[in-house]
Amino acid sequence: MKEDKTLKAQNSLVKNTTQKQTFSQAITGAALQNLIKKSVPDAASAARFTGALISSVAANQQLQKCNPASVVAAALRGEGQGLTIGREYHLVPFADTCAYVVSYKGLIALALATGDVADMDCIEVREGEYVGRDSRTKRMKFDFSKYETDEEAEGHPIIGYYAYCETVSGRFRYEYMSVTDIIDHARRYSKSFDYEKYMKLERGEYTPQEADKVKASSPWYGSFEIMAKKTVIRRLLNSGYVRLANSAALKDALAYDSASEDGIIPDLNLNVDDDTGEVIESTATDITDAAQETDNAPAAPQNDKPVKRARGRKSDDTEAQAAQEGESEADFSAGFFGDDE
C-alpha cells in the first residue's frame, strides 16, 4: 500500500513538471523576459507591457492556444511603433500562431505622429449626405451638416465611408468608397469573405447560434464597419496623394501589413488582405528560439472636409466580440477586435 502511494506521488510530480506552461508562466520566464527587456526602454515599460499582454491573452481563449513567443513577438512590433494594444493594433490568433495587425485607428495614430498631419479620420456617409458631383472637376460632394444630431443621422442607412487627411500645410485629400465598392473589394481580395453568407447574415436567415458562428469566422461579418474604414484609410494612404515627410513608422506599418503583392506578413508567413491587413490564411512553419525554450520548460508551480455635427456621433468603440462556438471556418478572427476598436 505504501509503495502504491509513493508511485502515485511520483506520477503526480512527473505530470506537474511536464504539463504545458500557461501564458503567464511563459511570459514571466527568463527566455521571454530577456526578449522583452531588450526591446523596451526600461524595467517599468517591461512590467507594464508584460501585465497588459497577460490581461489580453487571459481574455481571449484563441490567443491562449498560440505559441507564447509568437504572441510576444507580435505585441513587441506594435509596442515598438508606440501603439496601444486592443485599440491601435490587434493580436490575431491563427491556430497556434499569433500575428500583429494594425487597426485603422493605428494607421491614423501613426500618421498624426509624423507631425505632418493636422487631422485624419474615416467616417460613415449616410443616405442624403452625398449631394452630387462638382460640375467642373467631377469630384464627389458631400454635405455632412445635413443631420444635426446622431439620432437623426442614424435614422438613415450608411451608403459608404469617407476617409480624409489634412496636412499642417493645409493640403486636403479624401477617399470615398461606397458600401457596394467595399463589398466588391472583399469579394475580390478576401478569402474569408463569402458574399452569399454575408447576404444571408444581412437578411437575418441564420439562427442566433449560426449567426454568432458566422460572425466569428471573419471580421468582415462580425466587424464590417471597422474593416470598411480600414480599407478606405489604407486606400487613401496608398494613393500617393498623401505624402508625409516623417513617415518611417507609418511606412513600416503599411509595409508589414502588406509586405508583398501576395500580402505575406514577414517572419510569420501569414497571408493578409493588401488593403485591410486582414489575415487570410497561414503557412507558418518558423519557430523561434524563445518559442522552443518556453515549449520545453517545465511548468512553474501554480471644403470637402466634414463638418462635425452639433452632437458627436456614437462611437464604433462598442463593437461586440462574437461568441466562439466550436470550430469556426477560420478561428483567427475570434477576438480580432477589442472593445476599444
Predicted local confidence at residue 247, as pLDDT: 76
Measured CA to CA, the distance from residue 56 to residue 68 in angstroms comes to 12
**3-class SS of residue 47:** helix
CA 11/CA 18 separation, integer angstroms: 11
Q: How far apart are CA 15 and CA 173, in angstroms?
A: 62
Cβ burial, residue 90 (10 Å; 0-12/13-18/19+): buried
Write the single-letter amino acid at 58.
Answer: A
> For residue 245, what pLDDT is reported?
67
> Is a pLDDT exceeding 90 seen at residue 303?
no
- pTM higher than 0.75, yes or no? no
Span 7-19, average pLDDT: 46
What are the CA-CA distances from residue 126 to residues 30, 36, 130, 329 (Å)?
A: 53, 45, 8, 32
- Cα 304 to chain centroid, rounded: 29
Looking at residue 14, its pLDDT comes to: 41
Best CA proximity match to 225, nearest among 330, 103, 134:
103
**Res 138: pLDDT:** 92
User: What local confidence, expressed as pLDDT, does residue 313 receive?
Assistant: 41
More confident residue, 60 or 282: 60
Length of the chain as a residue count: 341
Strands (E), 156-231: 158-167, 172-178
Give residue-wise pLDDT tens across range 215-239.
Answer: 888 888 988 999 999 999 999 988 8
Average pLDDT over residues 202-222: 90
Q: How far is CA 84 from CA 226, 315, 334, in A?
A: 17, 18, 19
Helix (H, G, I), strand (E, B) or coil at 299: coil
Which pLDDT belongs to residue 19?
60
% of the chain exceeding 90 in pLDDT: 42
More confident residue, 195 or 240: 195
Task: Kindly state the cell numbers that stand for 170.
Answer: 493645409
Per residue in 171-196, pLDDT tens? 999 999 999 999 999 999 888 889 99
What digits encode the pLDDT tens for the residues 69-95? Answer: 999 999 998 898 889 888 999 888 877
Q: Which residues contact 14 (CB under 8 A, 6 or more apart)?
A: none
Residue 311: all three cell numbers together: 452632437
